[in-house]
Amino acid sequence: DAKTTQPPSMDCAEGRAANLPCNHSTISGNEYVYWYRQIHSQGPQYIIHGLKNNETNEMASLIITEDRKSSTLILPHATLRDTAVYYCIVRPGVWSGAGSYQLTFGKGTKLSVIP
Amino acid sequence: DTEVTQTPKHLVMGMTNKKSLKCEQHMGHRAMYWYKQKAKKPPELMFVYSYEKLSINESVPSRFSPECPNSSLLNLHLHALQPEDSALYLCASSPRSIQVPANTEAFFGQGTRLTVV
């Protein structure tokens, strides 16, 4: 089962920052937070991941609370091409058996960027 | 090359047909996955291969038969499917090595849209 909770949908005006929240209150110490997105009828695309520090790359920023029970993905200047379903996933950071590397998807947040 | 290539992109098959889905990656990844995604639902894991050996089968019916002939290829053989098996089938790969920490990204293909008639 997915270990994360996300709002089912959000709207964001084009050019504004999109802030997508995720709750992962049962996350354990060696688990990372990953974000993927899936544009309609395409395969999921990796965005960013982090353990406890805030992370930034060319696509987005990831803010993880100090207690690690929640995080926020930030798309700084949303465009129409960012309309997609965004998945927050918790995944082990150390090898602990065959299931360690799989991704278990929750329901995600459908982000609609409005012109 | 950071691509996972899936063929065909679309497939229509009858319930008595036998067909195969193919997946290929040249990133040296030793973990490969099949996911099934129904409309408006998240992807659901079907199989995991690690070093060309099946390591996880998520109670998938035997009409789906995976095969990993080498480290770059993953197949999904289909036989006697039902209309409810119509879905988007996604392949993914990721590095898999005790020397490589698990905090690495997985790469997904664009999927095969399967319709069973």
Q: Do A98 and B96 touch (CB under 8 A)?
A: no
B94 touching A, CB under 8 A?
yes
Q: Which chain B residue shows the shortest CA-CA distance from A51?
A: B103
A50 touching B, CB under 8 A?
no
Q: What is the dihedral of CA A28, A30, A31, A33, to 10 degrees?
A: 110
Q: What is the mean pLDDT of residues B14-27?
A: 96
The distance of A29 to chain B (nearest Cα, Å) reads 13
Percent of chain B predicted with pLDDT > 70: 91
Higher pLDDT, B101 or B68: B68
A46 touching B, CB under 8 A?
yes
| Residue B98 reports pLDDT greater than 80 | no
pLDDT tier at B1 (50, 70, 90 boundaries)?
Answer: low
Q: What is the mean pLDDT of residues B101-105?
A: 61
Higher pLDDT, A16 or B103: A16
Q: What is the mean pLDDT of residues B90-101?
A: 73
Q: End-to-end CA distance of chain B: give it in Å, rounded.
A: 36
For residue A33, give the 3-state DSSP assignment: strand
Under DSSP, the state recorded for B42 is -
What is the rounded CA–CA span in Å between residue B67 and residue B62?
13
Partner residue opposite B56 with nearest CB, options A44, A102, A103: A102
In chain A (115 residues long), the average pLDDT of successive 10-residue segments reads 90 97 92 93 92 93 96 97 96 67 88 97
Q: Is the peptide bond before B8 cis (omega within 30 degrees of 0)?
A: yes
pLDDT of A74: 98
